[in-house]
């Protein structure tokens, strides 16, 4: 019961705080409109619920069974973030045309 209370409190606090997902949805709504931002909002809601479900079902046990998985996920995540940073660094400005 103690774990369920912890997960519920985490879900409430992380869903109402102005984190990156909320800022991203707000910016998307401002730039593209509410209708075009609904898929983004839906993906965030489904992904967050799926994350809570996996954690609630004991996803951490997978890391106990395979200790090397932790390092693999960290390396893969770091490489992906570096790739995204490289794409952002090479992108043009907002007002720049593709000619």
Domain count, the chain: 2
User: What gap in Å lies between CA 43 and CA 96, rounded to an integer?
Assistant: 30
46-61 per-residue burial string, b: 16 or more CB within 10 A, e: under 16: eeeeeebeeeeeeeee
Per the structure, the complete domain to which residue 74 belongs is given by 64-99
Q: What is the pTM of this model?
A: 0.52
Same domain (yes/no): 54, 8: yes
In tens, the pLDDT along 12-69 reads 877 777 788 888 998 999 999 999 999 999 998 898 888 878 877 777 788 788 889 8
8 Å CB contact between 76 and 61: no
Q: 65-75 burial, b for 16+ CB within 10 Å, e for fewer?
A: eeeeeeeeeee
pLDDT at 37 (0 to 100): 93
pLDDT at 72 over 90: yes
Q: To 10 degrees, the CA torsion angle through 20, 48, 26, 90?
A: 50
- Shared domain for 22 and 68, answered yes or no, is no
**pLDDT confidence band for 82 (50 / 70 / 90):** very high
């Amino acid at each position: 019961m103690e774990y369920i209370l912890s997960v519920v409190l985490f879900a409430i606090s992380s869903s109402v705080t102005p984190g990156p997902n909320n800022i991203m949805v707000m910016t998307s709504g401002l730039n593209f409109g509410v209708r075009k931002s609904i898929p983004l909002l839906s993906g965030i809601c489904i992904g967050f619920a799926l994350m809570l479900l996996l954690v609630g079902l004991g996803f951490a046990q997978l890391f106990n069974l395979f200790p090397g998985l932790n390092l693999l996920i960290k390396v893969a995540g770091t490489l992906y973030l570096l790739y995204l940073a490289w794409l952002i660094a090479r992108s043009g400005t907002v007002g720049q045309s593709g000619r």
